[in-house]
A and B are shown apart, each in its own frame.
Chain A
Amino acid sequence: MKFNIRIMPRDSVLDAQGRTLEKTLRDMGYQQVSHIQVGKNIQVEVDSFDESEAQIEVRKMAENIFHNPLIEKFEIERIL
Chain B
Amino acid sequence: MSRVGVVRFLGTNCDRDVAQWAQERHHEVEFIWYHDKQELKRFDYVILPGGFSFGDYLRSGAVAARSPIMSSLRDYVQFGGSVLGICNGFQILCEAGLLPGVLLKNTQGEFIDRWVDLEMVRAQTRFTQVSRTLRLPVAHGDGRYHADDETLKSLQDKGQIWLRYNENINGSVDRIAGICSENGRICGLMPHPERAIYEWMGSKDGECFL
Report yes or no: A70 in contact with B62, Cβ–Cβ below 8 A.
no
CA separation between A13 and B172, bound complex, in Å?
A: 12
Least CB distance from A38 to B in Å reads 10
Report yes or no: B146 in contact with A71, Cβ–Cβ below 8 A.
yes
Closest to B106 in A: A16
Report yes or no: A65 in contact with B101, Cβ–Cβ below 8 A.
no
B104 in complex: contacting residue of A13, A20, A40, A66, CB < 8 Å: A13
CA separation between A52 and B155, bound complex, in Å?
A: 40
Least CB distance from A21 to B in Å reads 9
Report yes or no: B107 in contact with A14, Cβ–Cβ below 8 A.
yes
Is B58 in the interface zone, CB < 8 Å from A? yes
A70 in complex: contacting residue of B102, B107, B108, CB < 8 Å: B102
Given contacts A68-B95, A70-B146, A71-B146, contact A17 B105 (CB under 8 A): yes
Report yes or no: B62 in contact with A65, Cβ–Cβ below 8 A.
yes
Report yes or no: A16 in contact with B107, Cβ–Cβ below 8 A.
yes
Is B157 in the interface zone, CB < 8 Å from A? no
1/0 contact trace for B168-188 toward A, CB 8 Å? 000100000000000000000
CA separation between A17 and B106, bound complex, in Å?
A: 10
Given contacts A65-B62, A68-B62, contact A13 B107 (CB under 8 A): no
Interface residues of A in 48-80 (CB under 8 A from B): 64-66, 68, 70-71
A17 in complex: contacting residue of B58, B109, B171, CB < 8 Å: B109
Given contacts A14-B107, A16-B105, A16-B106, 15 further A-B contacts (CB under 8 A): A14-B171, A16-B104, A16-B107, A17-B109, A20-B109, A40-B58, A64-B66, A65-B62, A66-B58, A68-B95, A70-B101, A70-B102, A70-B146, A70-B147, A70-B148
Is B126 in the interface zone, CB < 8 Å from A? no
CA separation between A45 and B101, bound complex, in Å?
A: 31
| Neighbouring B residues of A40 by C-beta, 8 Å | 58
| Neighbouring B residues of A16 by C-beta, 8 Å | 104-109, 144, 171
Is A19 in the interface zone, CB < 8 Å from B? yes
Is B3 in the interface zone, CB < 8 Å from A? no
